[in-house]
Amino acid sequence: MTDRLTIAGARIFDGSHWHQGQTLQVENGRVAPFGGEENSSDDAVALDAGGLLLVPGFIDLQVNGGGGVQFNNSADEAGIAAICAAHARFGTTALLPTLITDTPGISTLALAAGIQAARRGIPGYLGLHLEGPHLSQARKGTHDPALIRPMTEIDLQRLLTDAGKFGKALITIAPESVTPSQVEQLCAAGYRVSLGHSEASCDTVGDYVAAGASMITHLFNAMSPLTHREPGMVGAALSNGALNCGLIADGFHVDPIAIGIALRAKTGPGHIFLVTDAMSTIGTDDIGLELNGRQIFREGGRLTLADGTLAGADIDMLSCVRYAHEKLGLPLEEALRMASTYPAEAIGAANKGRLEPGSDADFVLLTPELEIVSTWIGGQCVFNA
Ligand SMILES: [Zn+2]
């Protein structure tokens, strides 16, 4: 028996255009052609979504936790399931649980958890993002300096051995701790290499892009800035069209004026896309969390270490979309693309980030005021407000 679903009455955004008066049809977890014969067979579930917006599900490539679970502290299959469920409440249909710099033992657990999650097909699990430990001490941010270290041959071989087994693979590295040859080997094995937490010069970034690096981690934060004589990583990120850049749009990590300048300056085909960099606090009333034995405090929409260093973000993806649309003044279509289409392109998830015939039926129903109504993954409702 096929799994069929029809949703009528919504304004549908497919990633490029709005469709009015069309019915979204889903068959076996995929989007069927628009305007096709409406499916009224007995086994089709029909839903009236009159007056709502139906948009591609959000894709978050940097999620450290959610629902009270921090991936570093719960690097197992149950932890991944809890994080995915927490973010589904805010419209995220695919995410990369992100491991912040930790011990080799925790890194091994995280890879094993990712392999399990991929095998089980946990809804919303897309793959892993390993943020560190091969970063720069000079731009450590909230990463524990005692755990930051160069990539050894043993590290590289372990990453290569597990490549392809845990879904999409993203690794943030600093040129200070990883060689171009190591980047080449990671990319050849299927990793997307993102540059971040680094003091690298604009020229050095160019060398690493030539080696295969294709992304920049949380643009502006924890990297060499753009100045008039040394364009730095920010200058490289904006001027090199091969690079896709994650951005934390929470009102604290980057000033809205700087975001506007970056958006106007960014050279394509790469894009700036939204990441939450969310921690375990999302979807909870927790007043903080512990990471690598250090306390992180939650106050006023921010998460900080005792010394005031920003430690991840206290924001969900739907709030990022609202911020981009309402605060930055971006057209809603572009804000939605920054939360779905562009991250899907950056990570190479060809069937996601759009609602076109054959796409995964990952979508969100929103009110016109951008309040969440329900979240769907593969044509299955995973959250209903
Ligand atoms: Zn970071």
Q: Rounded to an integer, what distance in angstroms lies between the CA atom of residue 3 and that of residue 221?
A: 44
Q: What is the pLDDT of residue 37?
A: 52
Q: Specify whether 47 is located in the same domain as 181.
A: no
Q: What is the pLDDT of residue 34?
A: 77
| C-alpha 100 to ligand 1 mean position (Å) | 8
Residue 40 reports pLDDT greater than 70: no
DSSP codes, 56-94: EPEEEEEE-EETTEEGGG--SHHHHHHHHHHHHTTTEEE
Q: Rounded to an integer, what distance in angstroms lies between the CA atom of residue 105 and that of residue 97?
A: 17
Q: Rounded to an integer, what distance in angstroms lies between the CA atom of residue 230 and that of residue 306?
A: 32
Q: Other CB atoms closer than 10 Å to residue 283's CB: what's the count?
A: 21
Q: Rounded to an integer, what distance in angstroms lies between the CA atom of residue 248 and that of residue 235?
A: 17
Q: Specify whether 110 is located in the same domain as 166.
A: yes
| C-alpha 165 to ligand 1 mean position (Å) | 24
Residue 204 reports pLDDT greater than 80: yes
> CA 312 from chain center: how many Å?
13
| C-alpha 359 to ligand 1 mean position (Å) | 31
Q: Specify whether 66 is located in the same domain as 160.
A: yes
Among residues 271, 291, 267, 268, the alpha carbon closest in space to that of 280 is found at: 291
Span 72-94, pLDDT tens digits = 999 999 999 999 999 999 999 99
Q: What is the pLDDT of residue 44?
A: 74
Q: Specify whether 239 is located in the same domain as 366.
A: no
| C-alpha 223 to ligand 1 mean position (Å) | 10
Q: Specify whether 17 is located in the same domain as 139.
A: no
The pLDDT-based confidence of 2 (bands split at 50, 70, 90) is low
Q: Specify whether 192 is located in the same domain as 211.
A: yes
Residue identified by tokens 């590290």 is 155
Note whether 131 and 217 are within 8 A (CB). yes
Q: Rounded to an integer, what distance in angstroms lies between the CA atom of residue 20 and that of residue 15?
A: 14
Q: Specify whether 129 is located in the same domain as 209.
A: yes
Q: Rounded to an integer, what distance in angstroms lies between the CA atom of residue 355 and that of residue 376?
A: 12
CATH no. for residue 375? 2.30.40.10
| C-alpha 74 to ligand 1 mean position (Å) | 19
| C-alpha 311 to ligand 1 mean position (Å) | 8
Q: Specify whether 33 is located in the same domain as 118.
A: no
CATH no. for residue 69? 3.20.20.140
Among residues 65, 38, 108, 84, the alpha carbon closest in space to that of 378 is found at: 84
Note whether 260 and 219 are within 8 A (CB). no
Domain with 341, as residue range(s), is 58-347
Residue 42 reports pLDDT greater than 70: no
| C-alpha 154 to ligand 1 mean position (Å) | 24
Q: Specify whether 88 is located in the same domain as 212.
A: yes
Residue 161 three-state SS: helix
Tally of domains in the chain: 2
| C-alpha 92 to ligand 1 mean position (Å) | 20
The pLDDT-based confidence of 247 (bands split at 50, 70, 90) is very high
Residue 226 reports pLDDT greater than 60: yes
What average pLDDT score do residues 52-64 get? 98
> Which percentage of the chain shows pLDDT scores above 90?
95
| C-alpha 315 to ligand 1 mean position (Å) | 15
The pTM (predicted TM-score) of the whole model is 0.97
Q: Other CB atoms closer than 10 Å to residue 225's CB: what's the count?
A: 12
What average pLDDT score do residues 205-234 get? 98
Which of the residues 277, 314, 316, 360 is marked catalytic? 277
Q: Specify whether 49 is located in the same domain as 62.
A: no
Residue 41 reports pLDDT greater than 70: no
Q: Specify whether 64 is located in the same domain as 89.
A: yes
**277 carries an active-site annotation:** yes
| C-alpha 7 to ligand 1 mean position (Å) | 39
Q: Specify whether 127 is located in the same domain as 44.
A: no
> CA 332 from chain center: how many Å?
19
